[in-house]
A and B are shown apart, each in its own frame.
Chain A
Amino acid sequence: MNKLLTEFSDEELIKEYQDNNTPEAYDILVKRYKDPLMNFVYRFVGDRDICTDVVQDTMIKFYLNKDSYRSFAKFSTWIYTIAGNLAKNELKRRRRRIIFSIDNGDDERSPQIEDKMFLAPDKAADGEIRNEIIQNALLKVKPVYREVVILRDIQDLSYEEISEITGLAIGTVKSRINRGRAQLQKLLKHIYRE
Protein backbone atom coordinates (compact mmCIF):
# COMPACT_ATOMS: atom_id res chain seq x y z
CA MET A 1 0.00 0.00 0.00
CA ASN A 2 2.85 2.39 0.98
CA LYS A 3 4.72 1.73 -2.24
CA LEU A 4 1.66 2.51 -4.21
CA LEU A 5 1.12 5.76 -2.33
CA THR A 6 4.64 6.99 -3.11
CA GLU A 7 3.85 6.69 -6.77
CA PHE A 8 0.76 8.85 -6.39
CA SER A 9 0.72 12.41 -7.65
CA ASP A 10 0.27 15.24 -5.16
CA GLU A 11 -3.37 15.66 -6.08
CA GLU A 12 -4.04 11.93 -5.74
CA LEU A 13 -2.39 11.91 -2.33
CA ILE A 14 -4.39 14.83 -0.98
CA LYS A 15 -7.58 13.23 -2.29
CA GLU A 16 -6.63 10.00 -0.52
CA TYR A 17 -6.00 11.95 2.65
CA GLN A 18 -9.25 13.87 2.34
CA ASP A 19 -11.41 10.84 1.55
CA ASN A 20 -9.88 8.14 3.76
CA ASN A 21 -7.89 10.23 6.24
CA THR A 22 -4.79 8.16 5.40
CA PRO A 23 -1.90 9.46 7.55
CA GLU A 24 0.68 7.98 5.16
CA ALA A 25 -0.60 10.21 2.36
CA TYR A 26 -0.10 13.22 4.62
CA ASP A 27 3.43 12.04 5.56
CA ILE A 28 4.41 11.61 1.93
CA LEU A 29 3.19 15.09 1.05
CA VAL A 30 5.12 16.53 4.01
CA LYS A 31 8.26 14.73 2.84
CA ARG A 32 7.82 16.02 -0.70
CA TYR A 33 7.25 19.65 0.23
CA LYS A 34 9.21 20.31 3.41
CA ASP A 35 12.48 21.12 1.57
CA PRO A 36 11.08 23.27 -1.26
CA LEU A 37 9.00 25.19 1.26
CA MET A 38 11.99 25.60 3.58
CA ASN A 39 14.01 27.03 0.69
CA PHE A 40 11.20 29.39 -0.38
CA VAL A 41 10.47 30.65 3.14
CA TYR A 42 14.15 30.99 4.05
CA ARG A 43 14.84 33.12 0.97
CA PHE A 44 11.81 35.24 1.83
CA VAL A 45 12.34 35.65 5.59
CA GLY A 46 16.10 35.19 5.91
CA ASP A 47 16.08 33.41 9.27
CA ARG A 48 16.47 29.65 9.59
CA ASP A 49 14.63 29.22 12.91
CA ILE A 50 11.69 31.36 11.86
CA CYS A 51 11.66 29.57 8.53
CA THR A 52 11.40 26.15 10.27
CA ASP A 53 8.53 27.42 12.42
CA VAL A 54 6.70 28.83 9.40
CA VAL A 55 7.02 25.57 7.45
CA GLN A 56 5.88 23.56 10.51
CA ASP A 57 2.88 25.88 10.82
CA THR A 58 2.19 25.41 7.10
CA MET A 59 2.08 21.65 7.55
CA ILE A 60 -0.17 21.96 10.59
CA LYS A 61 -2.50 24.25 8.68
CA PHE A 62 -2.55 21.68 5.91
CA TYR A 63 -3.33 18.96 8.49
CA LEU A 64 -6.16 20.98 10.08
CA ASN A 65 -7.68 22.41 6.91
CA LYS A 66 -7.24 19.57 4.46
CA ASP A 67 -10.87 19.91 3.36
CA SER A 68 -10.41 23.50 2.24
CA TYR A 69 -8.29 22.23 -0.67
CA ARG A 70 -10.29 21.98 -3.89
CA SER A 71 -9.27 19.44 -6.52
CA PHE A 72 -9.30 21.94 -9.43
CA ALA A 73 -6.18 23.62 -8.05
CA LYS A 74 -2.69 22.19 -7.96
CA PHE A 75 -1.61 20.98 -4.54
CA SER A 76 1.77 22.72 -4.91
CA THR A 77 0.17 26.13 -5.49
CA TRP A 78 -2.20 25.58 -2.54
CA ILE A 79 0.61 24.71 -0.10
CA TYR A 80 2.84 27.51 -1.45
CA THR A 81 -0.02 29.97 -0.89
CA ILE A 82 -0.34 28.87 2.75
CA ALA A 83 3.41 29.10 3.30
CA GLY A 84 3.61 32.47 1.56
CA ASN A 85 0.80 33.94 3.67
CA LEU A 86 2.33 32.67 6.91
CA ALA A 87 5.74 34.03 5.89
CA LYS A 88 4.22 37.44 5.12
CA ASN A 89 2.44 37.44 8.48
CA GLU A 90 5.70 36.59 10.19
CA LEU A 91 7.46 39.45 8.41
CA LYS A 92 4.71 41.85 9.53
CA ARG A 93 4.97 40.60 13.12
CA ARG A 94 8.74 41.04 13.08
CA ARG A 95 8.45 44.52 11.66
CA ARG A 96 5.98 45.45 14.42
CA ARG A 97 8.32 43.98 17.03
CA ILE A 98 11.22 45.99 15.63
CA ILE A 99 9.17 49.20 15.70
CA PHE A 100 8.08 48.69 19.31
CA SER A 101 11.41 47.42 20.66
CA ILE A 102 13.28 50.36 22.16
CA ASP A 103 16.49 48.61 23.16
CA ASN A 104 17.77 47.12 19.90
CA GLY A 105 15.61 48.67 17.22
CA ASP A 106 18.23 49.67 14.68
CA ASP A 107 20.60 46.76 15.30
CA GLU A 108 17.96 44.23 14.33
CA ARG A 109 16.86 46.07 11.25
CA SER A 110 20.25 46.41 9.59
CA PRO A 111 21.51 43.10 8.21
CA GLN A 112 24.80 41.90 9.64
CA ILE A 113 26.30 41.34 6.20
CA GLU A 114 25.76 44.98 5.27
CA ASP A 115 29.53 45.70 5.37
CA LYS A 116 30.31 42.83 3.04
CA MET A 117 28.36 44.63 0.33
CA PHE A 118 31.40 46.88 -0.02
CA LEU A 119 33.96 44.10 -0.39
CA ALA A 120 36.36 44.12 -3.28
CA PRO A 121 34.99 42.30 -6.39
CA ASP A 122 37.64 39.56 -6.22
CA LYS A 123 36.63 38.78 -2.65
CA ALA A 124 32.97 39.01 -3.56
CA ALA A 125 33.54 36.30 -6.14
CA ASP A 126 34.06 33.81 -3.36
CA GLY A 127 31.07 31.46 -3.48
CA GLU A 128 29.80 31.51 0.07
CA ILE A 129 30.19 35.23 0.57
CA ARG A 130 28.60 35.85 -2.81
CA ASN A 131 25.60 33.74 -1.83
CA GLU A 132 25.32 35.59 1.45
CA ILE A 133 25.46 38.93 -0.34
CA ILE A 134 22.77 37.82 -2.79
CA GLN A 135 20.58 36.59 0.06
CA ASN A 136 20.94 39.89 1.93
CA ALA A 137 20.24 41.88 -1.21
CA LEU A 138 17.16 39.73 -1.75
CA LEU A 139 15.91 40.62 1.72
CA LYS A 140 16.19 44.29 0.82
CA VAL A 141 13.90 43.93 -2.19
CA LYS A 142 10.29 44.91 -1.48
CA PRO A 143 8.32 41.86 -0.23
CA VAL A 144 5.78 42.05 -3.08
CA TYR A 145 8.59 41.76 -5.66
CA ARG A 146 10.73 39.46 -3.54
CA GLU A 147 8.05 36.78 -3.35
CA VAL A 148 7.58 36.51 -7.10
CA VAL A 149 11.31 36.65 -7.85
CA ILE A 150 11.95 33.78 -5.41
CA LEU A 151 9.10 31.72 -6.84
CA ARG A 152 10.27 32.28 -10.40
CA ASP A 153 14.06 32.39 -10.24
CA ILE A 154 14.83 30.21 -7.24
CA GLN A 155 11.89 27.83 -7.00
CA ASP A 156 11.57 27.63 -10.78
CA LEU A 157 7.79 27.85 -10.88
CA SER A 158 5.91 28.87 -14.02
CA TYR A 159 4.20 32.24 -14.40
CA GLU A 160 0.81 30.47 -14.26
CA GLU A 161 1.69 28.78 -10.99
CA ILE A 162 2.95 32.05 -9.48
CA SER A 163 -0.22 33.77 -10.66
CA GLU A 164 -2.27 31.09 -8.87
CA ILE A 165 -0.20 31.31 -5.67
CA THR A 166 -0.24 35.08 -5.44
CA GLY A 167 -3.74 35.56 -6.86
CA LEU A 168 -2.39 38.10 -9.37
CA ALA A 169 -2.89 38.35 -13.11
CA ILE A 170 -0.06 36.88 -15.18
CA GLY A 171 0.81 40.30 -16.60
CA THR A 172 1.16 41.70 -13.07
CA VAL A 173 3.30 38.74 -12.08
CA LYS A 174 5.62 39.33 -15.02
CA SER A 175 5.97 43.04 -14.35
CA ARG A 176 6.58 42.44 -10.65
CA ILE A 177 9.24 39.86 -11.46
CA ASN A 178 10.91 42.36 -13.75
CA ARG A 179 10.83 45.13 -11.16
CA GLY A 180 12.11 42.77 -8.50
CA ARG A 181 14.98 41.67 -10.70
CA ALA A 182 15.84 45.28 -11.52
CA GLN A 183 15.87 46.16 -7.80
CA LEU A 184 18.06 43.17 -7.05
CA GLN A 185 20.45 43.94 -9.89
CA LYS A 186 20.75 47.52 -8.59
CA LEU A 187 21.54 46.24 -5.11
CA LEU A 188 24.15 43.88 -6.53
CA LYS A 189 25.66 46.32 -9.03
CA HIS A 190 29.12 45.91 -7.51
CA ILE A 191 29.01 42.19 -8.45
CA TYR A 192 27.29 42.44 -11.85
CA ARG A 193 29.29 45.26 -13.40
CA GLU A 194 29.02 45.35 -17.15
Chain B
Amino acid sequence: MKKIYNEEENKFSKMLKDLKDLPKIKAPDNFEYNLSTRIQNKNFGTVNEREPQFNWIKFLAPSAAVVSVIILFFIFLPSSQENNNQLLQQTKLQNDQSAVNNSLSEKNKLNSQQSVPSDTKLQSNSTSLLGSNNTTARPRALSPLNDSRSIKLDDYISGSNKNQSNTNRGNIVNNGEEPSPYDGFVVSEKPDKKTLDRYRAVVDSIKKAQLKADSLKKVQK
Protein backbone atom coordinates (compact mmCIF):
# COMPACT_ATOMS: atom_id res chain seq x y z
CA MET B 1 0.00 0.00 0.00
CA LYS B 2 2.83 2.35 0.98
CA LYS B 3 4.56 1.56 -2.31
CA ILE B 4 1.53 2.68 -4.27
CA TYR B 5 1.42 6.01 -2.49
CA ASN B 6 5.19 6.45 -2.88
CA GLU B 7 4.85 5.75 -6.60
CA GLU B 8 2.06 8.28 -6.78
CA GLU B 9 4.22 10.83 -4.97
CA ASN B 10 7.03 10.18 -7.49
CA LYS B 11 4.56 10.77 -10.31
CA PHE B 12 3.75 14.20 -8.90
CA SER B 13 7.25 14.92 -7.55
CA LYS B 14 7.85 18.07 -9.61
CA MET B 15 4.46 19.50 -8.75
CA LEU B 16 4.82 18.61 -5.07
CA LYS B 17 8.17 20.37 -4.96
CA ASP B 18 6.62 23.47 -6.47
CA LEU B 19 3.74 23.34 -3.99
CA LYS B 20 6.20 23.17 -1.09
CA ASP B 21 8.19 26.05 -2.52
CA LEU B 22 5.18 28.32 -2.83
CA PRO B 23 5.83 31.53 -0.91
CA LYS B 24 4.47 31.46 2.64
CA ILE B 25 1.75 34.00 3.18
CA LYS B 26 2.19 35.96 6.37
CA ALA B 27 -0.36 37.78 8.47
CA PRO B 28 -0.36 41.58 8.15
CA ASP B 29 1.61 43.55 10.73
CA ASN B 30 -1.48 44.97 12.40
CA PHE B 31 -3.10 41.55 12.70
CA GLU B 32 -2.58 41.19 16.46
CA TYR B 33 -3.46 44.83 17.13
CA ASN B 34 -6.73 44.49 15.19
CA LEU B 35 -7.49 41.26 16.97
CA SER B 36 -6.91 42.73 20.44
CA THR B 37 -9.07 45.80 19.63
CA ARG B 38 -11.84 43.52 18.38
CA ILE B 39 -11.66 41.51 21.58
CA GLN B 40 -11.54 44.63 23.78
CA ASN B 41 -14.51 46.20 21.97
CA LYS B 42 -16.27 42.83 21.97
CA ASN B 43 -16.69 43.21 18.23
CA PHE B 44 -17.10 39.54 17.44
CA GLY B 45 -19.14 40.05 14.28
CA THR B 46 -20.86 36.90 13.05
CA VAL B 47 -18.37 34.55 14.73
CA ASN B 48 -20.50 33.98 17.81
CA GLU B 49 -23.71 33.50 15.82
CA ARG B 50 -24.66 29.89 15.62
CA GLU B 51 -26.46 28.56 12.60
CA PRO B 52 -30.18 28.21 13.32
CA GLN B 53 -31.01 24.64 14.26
CA PHE B 54 -34.03 22.83 12.96
CA ASN B 55 -36.95 23.73 15.22
CA TRP B 56 -39.91 21.33 15.24
CA ILE B 57 -42.29 23.90 16.73
CA LYS B 58 -41.37 26.48 14.11
CA PHE B 59 -41.91 23.85 11.43
CA LEU B 60 -45.14 22.40 12.84
CA ALA B 61 -46.98 25.65 13.64
CA PRO B 62 -47.35 26.90 10.05
CA SER B 63 -47.90 23.40 8.66
CA ALA B 64 -50.70 22.80 11.20
CA ALA B 65 -52.31 26.07 10.14
CA VAL B 66 -52.14 25.07 6.48
CA VAL B 67 -53.58 21.60 7.20
CA SER B 68 -56.46 23.06 9.26
CA VAL B 69 -57.28 25.49 6.43
CA ILE B 70 -57.36 22.59 3.96
CA ILE B 71 -59.61 20.55 6.29
CA LEU B 72 -61.99 23.49 6.76
CA PHE B 73 -62.06 23.96 3.01
CA PHE B 74 -63.10 20.33 2.50
CA ILE B 75 -65.69 20.53 5.28
CA PHE B 76 -67.46 23.52 3.78
CA LEU B 77 -67.01 22.63 0.13
CA PRO B 78 -69.56 19.72 -0.02
CA SER B 79 -72.45 21.97 1.13
CA SER B 80 -72.07 24.16 -1.92
CA GLN B 81 -71.77 21.03 -4.08
CA GLU B 82 -75.01 19.73 -2.66
CA ASN B 83 -76.69 22.97 -3.58
CA ASN B 84 -75.38 22.64 -7.07
CA ASN B 85 -76.57 19.07 -7.22
CA GLN B 86 -80.06 20.11 -6.18
CA LEU B 87 -80.20 22.47 -9.09
CA LEU B 88 -78.90 19.81 -11.39
CA GLN B 89 -81.42 17.30 -10.05
CA GLN B 90 -84.19 19.80 -10.65
CA THR B 91 -83.13 20.36 -14.23
CA LYS B 92 -82.75 16.60 -14.71
CA LEU B 93 -86.29 16.08 -13.53
CA GLN B 94 -87.46 18.72 -15.92
CA ASN B 95 -85.52 17.12 -18.75
CA ASP B 96 -87.01 13.72 -17.89
CA GLN B 97 -90.50 15.19 -17.83
CA SER B 98 -90.03 16.87 -21.19
CA ALA B 99 -88.61 13.61 -22.60
CA VAL B 100 -91.65 11.67 -21.36
CA ASN B 101 -93.95 14.29 -22.84
CA ASN B 102 -92.11 14.11 -26.15
CA SER B 103 -92.36 10.32 -26.26
CA LEU B 104 -96.08 10.49 -25.46
CA SER B 105 -96.68 13.00 -28.23
CA GLU B 106 -94.69 10.81 -30.63
CA LYS B 107 -96.82 7.80 -29.65
CA ASN B 108 -99.95 9.83 -30.24
CA LYS B 109 -98.59 10.89 -33.57
CA LEU B 110 -97.94 7.30 -34.59
CA ASN B 111 -101.41 6.22 -33.52
CA SER B 112 -103.04 9.02 -35.43
CA GLN B 113 -100.94 8.22 -38.52
CA GLN B 114 -102.04 4.59 -38.37
CA SER B 115 -105.73 5.39 -37.89
CA VAL B 116 -106.13 8.51 -40.06
CA PRO B 117 -106.00 8.19 -43.85
CA SER B 118 -103.33 9.85 -45.95
CA ASP B 119 -105.37 12.89 -46.90
CA THR B 120 -105.93 13.77 -43.28
CA LYS B 121 -102.27 13.32 -42.34
CA LEU B 122 -101.58 16.96 -42.93
CA GLN B 123 -104.17 17.94 -40.43
CA SER B 124 -102.84 15.53 -37.82
CA ASN B 125 -99.33 16.85 -38.45
CA SER B 126 -100.60 20.27 -37.78
CA THR B 127 -102.13 19.06 -34.52
CA SER B 128 -98.88 17.43 -33.55
CA LEU B 129 -97.18 20.66 -34.39
CA LEU B 130 -99.61 22.40 -32.15
CA GLY B 131 -98.91 19.78 -29.57
CA SER B 132 -95.21 20.51 -29.83
CA ASN B 133 -96.04 24.15 -29.53
CA ASN B 134 -97.77 23.31 -26.32
CA THR B 135 -94.66 21.50 -25.09
CA THR B 136 -92.48 24.47 -26.00
CA ALA B 137 -94.69 26.59 -23.83
CA ARG B 138 -94.05 24.17 -20.93
CA PRO B 139 -90.52 25.29 -19.92
CA ARG B 140 -92.09 28.50 -18.84
CA ALA B 141 -94.18 26.60 -16.34
CA LEU B 142 -91.23 24.36 -15.31
CA SER B 143 -88.77 27.20 -15.13
CA PRO B 144 -85.43 26.21 -13.60
CA LEU B 145 -85.30 29.52 -11.84
CA ASN B 146 -86.48 28.54 -8.41
CA ASP B 147 -87.60 31.35 -6.11
CA SER B 148 -85.35 30.07 -3.35
CA ARG B 149 -82.37 30.04 -5.67
CA SER B 150 -82.79 33.36 -7.40
CA ILE B 151 -83.26 36.98 -6.56
CA LYS B 152 -86.17 38.89 -7.94
CA LEU B 153 -84.86 42.28 -8.74
CA ASP B 154 -88.20 44.03 -8.22
CA ASP B 155 -88.58 42.46 -4.78
CA TYR B 156 -85.00 43.25 -3.94
CA ILE B 157 -85.42 46.92 -4.86
CA SER B 158 -88.75 47.25 -3.09
CA GLY B 159 -87.33 45.41 -0.05
CA SER B 160 -90.05 42.76 0.05
CA ASN B 161 -87.59 39.83 0.09
CA LYS B 162 -86.62 40.34 3.73
CA ASN B 163 -88.07 36.96 4.62
CA GLN B 164 -85.39 35.21 2.61
CA SER B 165 -82.94 33.51 5.02
CA ASN B 166 -79.23 34.24 5.08
CA THR B 167 -78.35 30.65 4.20
CA ASN B 168 -80.50 30.94 1.11
CA ARG B 169 -78.73 34.11 0.12
CA GLY B 170 -75.40 32.41 0.75
CA ASN B 171 -76.42 29.54 -1.46
CA ILE B 172 -77.38 31.94 -4.20
CA VAL B 173 -73.99 33.60 -3.91
CA ASN B 174 -72.24 30.22 -3.87
CA ASN B 175 -74.05 29.11 -6.95
CA GLY B 176 -73.02 32.31 -8.62
CA GLU B 177 -69.47 30.96 -8.72
CA GLU B 178 -70.52 28.01 -10.87
CA PRO B 179 -71.42 28.57 -14.52
CA SER B 180 -75.18 28.51 -14.98
CA PRO B 181 -76.57 25.73 -17.19
CA TYR B 182 -78.88 28.32 -18.80
CA ASP B 183 -77.55 30.70 -21.34
CA GLY B 184 -80.31 33.24 -21.31
CA PHE B 185 -83.24 34.57 -19.39
CA VAL B 186 -86.74 33.17 -19.23
CA VAL B 187 -88.97 36.11 -20.02
CA SER B 188 -92.40 35.82 -18.47
CA GLU B 189 -94.63 37.44 -21.09
CA LYS B 190 -98.40 37.84 -20.81
CA PRO B 191 -100.15 36.29 -23.86
CA ASP B 192 -101.66 38.66 -26.38
CA LYS B 193 -105.47 38.38 -26.64
CA LYS B 194 -105.51 38.52 -30.43
CA THR B 195 -102.97 35.72 -30.86
CA LEU B 196 -104.86 33.61 -28.32
CA ASP B 197 -108.09 34.05 -30.32
CA ARG B 198 -106.25 33.19 -33.50
CA TYR B 199 -104.82 29.96 -32.06
CA ARG B 200 -108.22 29.03 -30.64
CA ALA B 201 -109.80 29.53 -34.09
CA VAL B 202 -107.15 27.27 -35.66
CA VAL B 203 -107.72 24.55 -33.04
CA ASP B 204 -111.48 24.77 -33.52
CA SER B 205 -111.18 24.48 -37.31
CA ILE B 206 -108.94 21.40 -36.92
CA LYS B 207 -111.42 19.81 -34.54
CA LYS B 208 -114.23 20.48 -37.03
CA ALA B 209 -112.21 18.98 -39.86
CA GLN B 210 -111.54 15.90 -37.74
CA LEU B 211 -115.28 15.52 -37.04
CA LYS B 212 -116.03 15.86 -40.75
CA ALA B 213 -113.41 13.26 -41.57
CA ASP B 214 -114.90 10.87 -39.04
CA SER B 215 -118.41 11.35 -40.44
CA LEU B 216 -117.12 10.77 -44.01
CA LYS B 217 -115.47 7.53 -42.88
CA LYS B 218 -118.71 6.35 -41.41
CA VAL B 219 -120.59 7.15 -44.64
CA GLN B 220 -118.01 5.28 -46.72
CA LYS B 221 -118.37 2.21 -44.46
What are 11 A-B contacts defined by CB distance under 8 Å? A27-B32, A31-B32, A34-B31, A35-B25, A48-B25, A64-B48, A130-B18, A131-B23, A134-B18, A154-B19, A181-B16
| With known contacts A130-B18, A174-B5, A52–B27 Cβ distance under 8 A | yes
Contacts A35-B24, A35-B27; is A192 near B35 (CB within 8 Å)?
A: no
- 1/0 contact trace for A152-184 toward B, CB 8 Å? 011010000000000000000010001001001
What 12 new A-B contacts, CB under 8 Å, besides A30-B32, A181-B15, A192-B15? A27-B32, A30-B35, A31-B32, A39-B25, A42-B25, A55-B31, A56-B34, A57-B45, A57-B47, A60-B35, A131-B18, A154-B20
Contact B19 A60, beta carbon cutoff 8 Å: no
Does chain B have a CB within 8 A of A63? yes
Q: Does A51 contact B (CB under 8 A)?
A: yes
- Interface contact tally, CB-CB below 8 A: 76
Docked Cα-Cα span, A185 to B12, in Å, equals 7
Give which listed residue, B14, B18, B22, contacts A43 with CB less than 8 A.
B22
Q: Does B154 contact A (CB under 8 A)?
A: no
Cβ of A38 within 8 Å of any chain B Cβ, yes or no, is yes
Q: Is the CB of B27 within 8 A of A131?
A: no
Considering only residues 18-65 of chain B, those with a C-beta below 8 Å from chain A are 18-20, 22-28, 31-32, 34-35, 38-39, 44-48
**A192: chain B residues within 8 A (beta carbon):** 14-15
Q: Which residues of B are found within 8 Å of A130, using beta-carbon distances? A: 18
Q: How many residues of A contact B (CB 8 A)?
A: 35
Which residues of chain B have a CB within 8 Å of any CB of chain A? 5, 8, 11-12, 14-16, 18-20, 22-28, 31-32, 34-35, 38-39, 44-48
Which of chain A's residues 55-78 have a Cβ closer than 8 Å to chain B? 55-57, 59-61, 63-64
Query: Closest residue to A150 on the B side, CB-wise?
Result: B19
Question: Is A81 an interface residue when CB atoms closer than 8 A count as contact?
Answer: no
Contact of B12 with A181 in the complex, beta carbons under 8 Å: yes
Q: What's the nearest-Cβ distance from chain A to residue B152, in Å?
A: 60
Contact A52 B31 (CB under 8 A): yes
Say whether A91 faces chain B, with CB atoms less than 8 Å apart: no
Tell me, in angstroms, the Cα distance from A39 to B20 when the chains sit together: 12
Q: Do residues B18 and A51 form an inter-chain contact, with CB atoms below 8 A?
A: no
- Between A60, A63, A184, the greatest number of chain B beta carbons within 10 A of the residue's beta carbon is seen for A60
CB closest chain-A residue, reference B32: A30
Give the CA-CA distance A134 to B22 in the complex, in Å: 9
Query: Do the beta carbons of A56 and B20 come within 8 Å of each other?
Result: no
For B48, the chain A residues whose CB sits under 8 A away are 64
Residues in B with CB closer than 8 Å to A30 are: 32, 35
Query: Are the C-beta atoms of B47 and A39 separated by less than 8 Å?
Result: no
